Amino acid sequence: MKRWLNFPLVLGLLLAAVLLVLLVLPEVVDLPDPHMGVYVQMNGPRLRLAPFAPGEFGYVLGSDLIGRDVLSRVVYGARYSLGLAAVVILLRFAVALPAGLRAGWSGGRAGRLVQTLAVGFGSIPALALVAMTLGGLRWLIPGQAGWLAVYVGMLVLSGAPRMAEQVRRRVEEILLMPHVEAALALGAPSRRILRRHVLPLMRADLLVMLSSEMAWVLLLMGQLAVFGIYVGGTVVVRGEGWSKVVEYLPEWGQMLGANRSSILGAPWIPFYPGLALGLSAAAFHLLAEGFRLRGMRQG
């Protein structure tokens, strides 16, 4: 048991357990509606305008600029943010795994194509590439559905070539092993060799890759949010003599990016979504590190 555990893995599992709690919390606890707000509250004879600080009027983590509950929005936000990152990862795997397997197995043109794409996409940091592309495309995409598709597509594209290259390299290593040579000598078809003799040896690598990529996607989502690039859209709320432009969805990236300028006056508004996003990225990074160390110890 001791051999199985290590510091990053334990810490990563603990943080992942917290994320799991956040995901199921709305089902077991009656939380305020994350879209429900109130701009003015009475504090005795005095009127108080939103945002309300943590602890005021029953807001545990405070309220946002129009009086929506930050705790509720952060808890509900787990579903949107982690769900979005999970979709990106699944799509990346759906693209990169077959491409990497094919490139590693057949080499030649497919191998060179995967290598070239990985080097090309790696020649400029993903954040700069995705921020500039989405910044440029933002004006051409009508509607939120289209924007979500482009956002997810860019996140998939920015990492898929690197993943495919990692898979290609690992496949090439495994193909040199004696059991694969034996299978080849016995005339086993390529699909069977990949499924029965290559993929099972890649399980540990894929687990590390899955956690690591999840961490990078969450990090990228947070970094893009800082540049004002996120999904969810904004809503203008108008009252008597006031108006606010606020984010709609309780998605962590959007909550961080849209409220970045509130850091001096109401720091809790961008801080808690940023904390949630940052700790999620850290959790998956630690899990990846833990799985890697476990793999190394098991040889």
User: Interacting stretch for another protein, rule CB under 8 A, among 54-62, 115-123, 157-165, 201-209?
Assistant: 115-123
Return the residues of window 138-157 that contact another protein according to CB under 8 A: 138-145, 147
- In the three-class reduction of DSSP (H, G, I as helix; E, B as strand; rest coil), residue 167 is classed as helix
Are the C-beta atoms of 270 and 259 separated by less than 8 Å?
yes
Quick check: 58 binds another protein (CB under 8 A)?
no
Q: How far is the CB of 234 from another protein (least distance, A)?
A: 6
Alpha-carbon distances of 252 from 110, 202, 220, 235, rounded to whole Å: 38, 33, 12, 16
Q: How far apart are CA 273 and CA 77, in angstroms?
A: 8
Alpha-carbon distances of 49 from 46, 76, 276, rounded to whole Å: 10, 24, 26
Count of residues in contact with another protein, rule CB under 8 A: 74
- Indicate which single residue of 55, 83, 125, 200 sits in contact with another protein (rule: CB under 8 A): 125
The answer for residues whose C-beta is within 8 angstroms of residue 172's C-beta and 6 or more apart is: 104, 107
CA 216 from chain centre, in angstroms, equals: 7
Quick check: 31 binds another protein (CB under 8 A)?
no
Q: How far is the CB of 288 from another protein (least distance, A)?
A: 9
- Indicate which single residue of 8, 77, 100, 161 sits in contact with another protein (rule: CB under 8 A): 8
End-to-end Cα spacing for the chain: 16
Q: How far is the CB of 198 from another protein (least distance, A)?
A: 27
Binding mask 60-89 for another protein (x = CB under 8 A): ------x-x---------------------
Q: How far is the CB of 146 from another protein (least distance, A)?
A: 8
- The helix-helix angle for 7-28 and 268-297 (nearest 10°) equals 130
User: Interacting stretch for another protein, rule CB under 8 A, among 73-81, 85-93, 174-182, 237-245?
Assistant: 237-245
